[in-house]
Amino acid sequence: MTRLARVIRHVPDARASAAFYARAFGLTEKLALGEDYIAMETGETVLGFARQGFFERETGLHLGAPHGDSSQEIAFEVPDVAAAHARAQAEGATEVLAPVDKPWGQTISYLRDPDGGLVQLCSPLGAVAAPLYLEDLSPGQVFRAGPVTVTAQEIMDYAARFDPQPFHTDPVAAAEHPLFRGLAASGWHTAGLTMRLVVRAIGHLAGGIVGAGGELQWPRPTRPGDTLSVEIEVLEVTPSRSRPDRGSAVVRITTLNQAGEAVQVFTPRMVVPRRPS
């Protein structure tokens, strides 16, 4: 099998570009030819940075590809897209697309490095999960998903559209609020983030995630910078007496922050199809 050995980007300053990728994405240097070429270790494939003019000088040929061509991209598979995205931004990358969950089961984001190169971050692509039917559920089962991080700007943007109260939209007013004492996400924002994670955890439930009501609690607010995850515990599984093709399951969906504190607890009853005979 032919193996992709290296990807080389031609940049104004190879050393500066390599240093950015080391800081932003945790890559380590494998080889350096002075200031002309720096190779970074990424696993199976080397990512190289060549100073502009190095190729022409070594080969006598002209490199015709335009610098910063947006039709090219470098993709990194990372365990936590949101965290890697934030780290890259902190080191000088420019956001193109914030982390988003895709229907095929990956989370992806896009940034541009300081040289204008397009970088994709993506979570590992797992095998497509088999559909879950009522017969596959039993009390005590736990499903988990996460994390997702919420920023102050996201909290204010959501609230401005859907819950425009000062303690969700104005950090100064929120700091003076006797209960919140600081910016807090709308409970409905927390619920939306939770649903995103629920789909990631049990989106392969046969027939989709169909709720039939339940109890919703917000023990504490979601704050800027909180990293949320969910735990879904199956509490009850009941076949329908009148409709043999379905049943119901009661689950407890607990949304936890990075300290393991519950920011939302939702206990819905879901309609779940039975396995076809």
Q: What are phi and psi of 34, to 5 degrees?
A: 60, -130
pLDDT digits (tens, 9 = 90+) for 191-205: 999 998 998 888 889
Give the separation between CA 81 and CA 99, rounded to whole angstroms: 7
Answer whether residue 70 shows pLDDT above 50: no
In CATH terms, the fold of domain 1-67 is 2,3-Dihydroxybiphenyl 1,2-Dioxygenase; domain 1 (3.10.180)
Of the ranges 35-39, 67-71, 85-89, 129-133, which one carries the lowest mean pLDDT score?
Answer: 67-71
Whole-number mean pLDDT of the chain? 87
SS3 category, 157: helix
Mean pLDDT across the stretch 108-126?
83
115 contacts 201 by C-beta, under 8 angstroms: no
Where does the chain show beta strands of DSSP type E?
Answer: 6-11, 28-33, 37-41, 46-51, 73-77, 94-101, 107-112, 118-122, 142-149, 210-217, 227-239, 246-256, 262-273
Strands ordered across the beta sheet of 37-41: 6-11, 46-51, 37-41, 28-33
CA–CA separation, 211 and 270 (whole Å): 4
Q: Report how far residue 113's alpha carbon sits from residue 207's, in angstroms, rounded to the nearest whole number.
A: 42
Q: What would you report as the CA-atom Rg of the chain, rounded to the nearest whole angstrom?
A: 24
| CATH for the 68-126 domain, from 3.40.50.150, 3.30.565.10, 3.10.180.10, 2.40.110.10 | 3.10.180.10
Residue ranges per structural domain of the chain: 1-67, 68-126, 134-273
Q: Which tops the pLDDT comparison, 87 or 127?
A: 87
Which of 113-122, 152-161, 205-214 comes out lowest in average pLDDT?
113-122
Check whether 251 has a pLDDT greater than 50: yes
Confidence of residue 59 (pLDDT cuts 50, 70, 90): low
Output 195 or 33, whichever has higher pLDDT.
195
Right CATH for 134-273 from 3.40.50.11540, 1.10.10.10, 3.10.129.10, 3.60.21.10: 3.10.129.10
Say yes or no: do domains 1-67 and 68-126 share a fold. yes
pTM of the model: 0.60
Confidence (pLDDT) at 133: 95
| pLDDT(271) > 90 | yes
3-class secondary structure, 31? strand
Q: Of 41-55, 65-79, 127-141, 235-249, which range is least confident?
A: 65-79
Pair 117, 72: CB distance under 8 Å: yes
- The rounded Cα 4 to chain-centroid distance in angstroms is 27
Nearest alpha-carbon partner for 137 in 266, 247, 276? 247
State whether residue 245 is helix, strand or coil: coil
Average pLDDT over residues 1-26: 85
The string of pLDDT tens digits covering residues 136-187 is 999 999 998 878 889 999 999 999 999 999 999 999 999 999 999 999 999 9
Distance CA 203, CA 198 (A): 7
Instruction: Answer yes or no: are the C-beta atoms of 235 and 251 closer than 8 Å.
Output: yes
